[in-house]
Amino acid sequence: MGEIRLMMGNEAIAEAAVRAGCDGYFGYPITPQSEVLEYLMAENPYERTGMVVLQAESEVASINMLYGGGAAGKRVMTTSSSPGISLMMEGISYMAGAEIPCLIANVVRGGPGLGTIQPSQSDYFQATKGGGHGDYYLFVLAPSSVQEMSDFVKLGFEIAFKYRNPVMILSDGVIGQVMEKVELFDPIPRRTEEEIIKECPWATTGKTPDRERNIITSLDLDPIRQEKHVMHLKEKYDKMKEDVMWENIKTDDAEYLIVAYGSSARISQKTIDLARAEGIKVGLFRPITLYPFPDKELERLSKQVKGILSVEMSLGQLVEDVRLAVHDRVPVEHYGRVGGSIHTPFQVLNALKEKIVNKY
Amino acid sequence: MDVKFESWKEIIKDENIVFKKTKVLTDNVLSYCPGCGHGVAHRLIAETIEEMGIQDQTIGIAPVGCSVLAYEFFDIDMQQAAHGRATALATAIKRLYPNKFVFTYQGDGDLAAIGGNETLHACNRGENIVIIFINNGIYGMTGGQMAPTTLEGMVTSTSPYGRDPQMMGHPLRITELVAMLPGTYYVTRQAVHKPANVRKTKKAIRKAFENQQQNKGLSFIEIVSNCNSGWKMTPVEANKWMEENMFKVFPLGDIKVDGELVKEL
Ligand SMILES: Cc1ncc(C[n+]2csc(CCOP(=O)(O)OP(=O)(O)O)c2C)c(N)n1
Ligand code: SF4
């Protein structure tokens, strides 16, 4: 068993980065995720593993530092919260186009604009539908516990290098700030330069006489070649479906279904217990990867239920993917508090009764 | 015909060669306008890399501007960056690979306008990199719009009646600005329009890469260059105009050497 600690979600991400053999962290302070950079600065991982930590001058700079390091084959990551992630969109699009692996964690806060520093899930569209310009997708992981904040750092790096694509951990202010027990995985050593050259033959590590020069770019002015490149990206996005992840909770005998991810899934877990105590047979479907979305499994579950409530702290973003997955076969309604307010299990229960159980 | 061919063969012999294209430049045809300074600047960087024997350890970064395709011309590993962000990339590469040589190659719009913040902070942190800054007073790639370095009164497609400093700001001398930061080690302004200037620029580039080799810190080389297309002049007229007008606002010479200012700012 790994080392057990009581940690904040943000601290768990930071500690997991050091343990996952991360080579460089570049970030800029913003609430509610500044603890990641603070933890790393205090921990001084350069002494522990040789990992570089740098406070950048902006999120624009941090994401472009990831571009430089990732394009040279290094395991690089950044964390931020909604306004900062918006600033990174240009760089993320470039990295998707140039096929550069990296890990980005968004500890979401309410918006739009400067919004609030309280938790929200209103960046779902931005994370799962591209976000920046152009035809691209990120691989998106949605942790719903401090444990997963740690585990998904390791997994995130694996996926980023498997697909040569940026990976986003989409959490929120609840998961970032809450303290929970976490079992830390055993440290993985940082890769040596020889290992990077072997595993990432595309990386700009210096043109040795035995190979052609490596060029990292998202530019190709020839539309026929650019089309070919975008179609190659599409094949990659299709292949990502191999790694789709979800969790079914009490769905075997469910007549109704709640779909929720991240902290809303934690809250809804309590709701299904409350509902079942009243005799309402409801289960919870928790997408763990938001892109690729686990639509096949949701479609399967939709065949056994009378109605679905999609619960998220937003005006209704996840609900669009839920509707697409179930093809109007069953009624799908949305419930969620917005602007940094968090729904309680009872509020979710009331919404479930009002919008679904009493109607269908 | 045969006679001519044979005489060609007699002249081109190893012992007669006085100049050869460096192997660090590829054989791809340059995308620059004839007479533009970009091509010469490329050659000088490539020659320096060859002479120092660091082709296999050098990573170059070209962001957006006429030199966006620089990776087609340098036979080294290269990254293409978003407009203005080259020094952020360079910061990470150098910190993650302290033993490699890292340089950026940026235009004035790129380095001084959209990338102003990245430039200032990379310089202020004293990243151990080389920045090559091509100042042609205009946005070449997008068709001759006003740059932060556009001279007062200069006509561009977005200052069609001349740059009015009251409305459009003053020409930005970012090289003087970064020279004042403790993080910069070597700051110089050169040109490549005449053989004597080419030789000086080459020396400056060599010094900059040697500074990096010796972990001295950041070297910043501005090359005042023409954009004959954007200025709507012939190459000869453009070089003359550059000498008469650009050099007044952007005087050539070293500004900071070995971490010490050598010129009053
Ligand atoms: C974010 C963004 N904004 C605008 C552009 C369009 N653009 C391309 S190059 C350029 C200016 C380049 O001028 P400069 O850096 O001076 O280089 P030059 O072409 O003169 O060598 C602009 C505005 C872009 N590519 N990206
Ligand atoms: S447009 Fe100007 S800067 Fe660009 S290649 Fe032509 S002359 Fe050079």
Strands A282-287 and A246-249: antiparallel
Look at residue A286 and tell me if it is in a domain. yes
- What is the distance between the alpha carbons of residues A309 and A330, in angstroms, rounded to a whole number? 11
- Would you state the pLDDT for residue A224? 97
B88 contacts in chain A (CB < 8 Å): 56, 60-62, 64-65, 67-68
Q: What is the pLDDT of residue B17?
A: 86
pLDDT at residue B2, rounded to an integer: 54
Residue A312 maps to a domain: yes
Q: What is the CATH number of the domain that holds B121?
A: 3.40.50.970
Q: Is A270 exposed, middle or buried (0-12, 13-18, 19+ CB in 10 A)?
A: middle
In this structure, the residue with its CA closest to atom 5 of ligand 2 is B32
Give phi and psi for A104, each to the nearest 5: -125, 130
Whether residues A161 and A39 share a domain: the answer is yes
B230 — alpha (psi -120 to 50), left (phi > 0) or beta? alpha
C-alpha to C-alpha distance for A109 and A85, rounded to whole angstroms: 11
Q: What is the CATH number for A327?
A: 3.40.50.920
Tell me the three-class secondary structure of chain B, residue by residue.
Answer: CHHHHHHHHHHCCHHHCCCCCCCCECCCCCCCCCCCHHHHHHHHHHHHHHHHCCHHHEEEEECCCHHHHHHHCECCEEEECCCCCHHHHHHHHHHHCCCCEEEEEEEHHHHHHHCHHHHHHHHHHCCCCEEEEEECCEECCCCCEECCCCCCCCCECCECCCCCHHHHCCCCCHHHHHHCCCCEEEEEEEECCCHHHHHHHHHHHHHHHHHHHCCCCEEEEEEECCCHHHHCCCHHHHHHHHHHHHHHHCCCEEEEECCEECCCC
CB-based contact, A225 to chain B, within 8 Å: no
Residue A153 confidence (pLDDT): 98
Tell me which of A158, A193, A228 is where a domain ends. A193
Residue A38 lies in a domain: yes
- Among the three residues A193, A210, A230, which one is the final residue of a domain in this structure? A193
Parent domain of B188: 31-259
Q: Is the peptide bond before A292 cis (omega within 30 degrees of 0)?
A: yes
> Residue A304 and residue A97: Cα distance in Å, rounded?
41
Residue A337 has, within 13 A of its CA and on its CB side, a CA count of 17
Radius of gyration (Cα) for chain A, nearest Å?
Answer: 21
**Distance separating alpha carbons of residues B144 and B114, to the nearest angstrom:** 16
Q: Please, what is the end-to-end C-alpha distance for chain B in angstroms?
A: 62
Q: Per-residue confidence at A104, pLDDT binned at 50, 70, 90?
A: very high
Q: Does B20 fall in a domain?
A: no
Cβ neighbors of A158 (< 8 A, separation 6 or more) are: none
Would you call A213 an interface residue with chain B, using a CB distance cutoff of 8 Å?
Answer: yes
pLDDT of residue B15: 86
Residues A158 and A299 in one domain: no
A25 near B CB under 8 A: no
Please report the pLDDT score of residue B210 as a whole number. 98
Q: Of B55, B90, B121, which has the smallest distance from its Cβ to A68's Cβ?
A: B90
Q: How far is the CA of B136 from the centre of ligand 2 (A)?
A: 9
For ligand 2, mutation pick of B29, B30, B33, B246 (most atoms within 8 Å of CB): B33
The answer to whether residue A110 scores a pLDDT higher than 90 is yes
Q: Is the pTM here over 0.90, yes or no?
A: yes
| Ligand 1 in reach of B47 Cβ (< 6 A) | no
pLDDT band at B14 (very low <50, low <70, confident <90, very high): confident
Is there a single domain that holds both residue A155 and residue A24? yes
A57 part of contact set with chain B, CB < 8 Å: yes
Burial of A251 (C-beta count, 10 Å sphere; 0-12/13-18/19+): buried
* Residue B227 belongs to some domain of the structure: yes
In a domain, B6, yes or no: no
Beta pairing partners, A133: none
Q: Phi/psi of residue A47, each to 5°?
A: -70, -40
- B74 interaction partners in chain A (CB closer than 8 Å): 213
Answer whether residue B7 shows pLDDT above 80. Answer: no
Query: How confident is the model at residue B4, as a pLDDT?
Result: 62
**A69/B96 Cβ within 8 A:** yes
Name the amino acid, one letter, at A116: T
Cα dihedral sign for B68, B72, B75, B80? positive
Mean pLDDT of A173-194: 97
Q: How high is the pLDDT of residue B8? A: 75
Does one domain contain both A176 and A279? no
Q: Give helix B195-213 / helix B37-52 axis angle, nearest 10°.
A: 40
Query: Average per-residue pLDDT in chain A?
Result: 97
Q: Which atom of ligand 1 is nearest to the CA of B111?
A: 15
Mean local confidence (pLDDT), A12-32: 98
Q: Is the pLDDT of residue A12 over 90?
A: yes
Q: Do B82 and A64 touch (CB under 8 A)?
A: yes
What does the pLDDT read at residue B52? 98
CA dihedral A266, A268, A269, A275 (to 10 degrees): 160
Counting atoms of ligand 1 from 1, which one is nearest the CA of B66?
A: 19
CA distance A198 to A124: 36
The pair of three-digit structure tokens given for residue B11, joined into one six-digit string: 């002249």
Which residue did the predictor score with more confidence, B1 or B75? B75
- Number of structural domains (chain B) is 1
| pLDDT for res B5 | 65
Percent above pLDDT 90 for chain B:
92
Q: Do A26 and B78 touch (CB under 8 A)?
A: no
Are residues A177 and A269 located together in one domain of the fold? no
Ligand 2 pocket mutation, candidates B64, B224, B228, criterion most atoms within 8 A of CB? B228
Number of domains forming the structure of chain A: 2
Residues 6+ apart with CB under 8 A from A85: A59, A104, A106, A123, A126, A131
pLDDT in tens, A42-73: 999 999 999 999 999 999 999 999 999 999 99
Inter-axis angle of helices A59-71 and B86-96, nearest 10: 50
- The pair of structure tokens assigned to B154 is 């200069």
CATH at residue A97: 3.40.50.970
Interface test with A, best of B52, B79, B125, B127 (most A CBs within 10 A): B79
pLDDT of A293-322, one tens digit each?
Answer: 999 999 999 999 999 999 999 999 999 999
Measured between beta carbons, the chain A residues lying within 8 angstroms of B100 are 205-206
A258 and A127 fall within a common domain: no
> Please, which residues bridge with residue B159 across strands?
B156
Domain of A325, in residue numbers: 247-357
**Pick among A59, A216, A218, A226 to test the B interface (most B CBs inside 10 A):** A216
Average per-residue pLDDT for chain B: 96
Mean pLDDT of B216-224: 98
> How many other CB atoms sit within 10 Å of the CB of residue B195?
8
Chain A closest-CA separation from residue B121 CA (Å): 7
Confidence (pLDDT) at A318:
98
Between CA A262 and CA A171 the distance in angstroms is 6
Asked whether B66 lines ligand 1 (CB < 6 A), one says yes
pLDDT (0 to 100) of residue B3: 56
A vs B: CB pairs below 8 A: 126
Q: Are residues A145 and A14 in the same domain?
A: yes
User: Does A137 reside within a domain?
Assistant: yes
Determine the Cα–Cα distance for residues A150 and A12; give it in Å rounded to an integer. 5
Find the ligand nearest to B141 CA: 1
Q: Which residues, listed in sequence order, are joined to residue B134 by a DSSP beta bridge?
A: B107, B223
Same-domain status, A185 and A280: no
**A263-303 pLDDT per residue, tens:** 999 999 999 999 999 999 999 999 999 999 999 999 999 99
In this structure, is residue B17 part of a structural domain? Answer: no
What is the tens place of the pLDDT at every residue in A126-168?
999 999 999 999 999 999 999 999 999 999 999 999 999 999 9
In a shared domain, residues A16 and A95: yes
Looking at A147, A166, A193, the residue that finishes a domain is A193
Q: Are residues A158 and A16 in the same domain?
A: yes
Instruction: Say whether both A163 and A251 belong to one domain.
Output: no
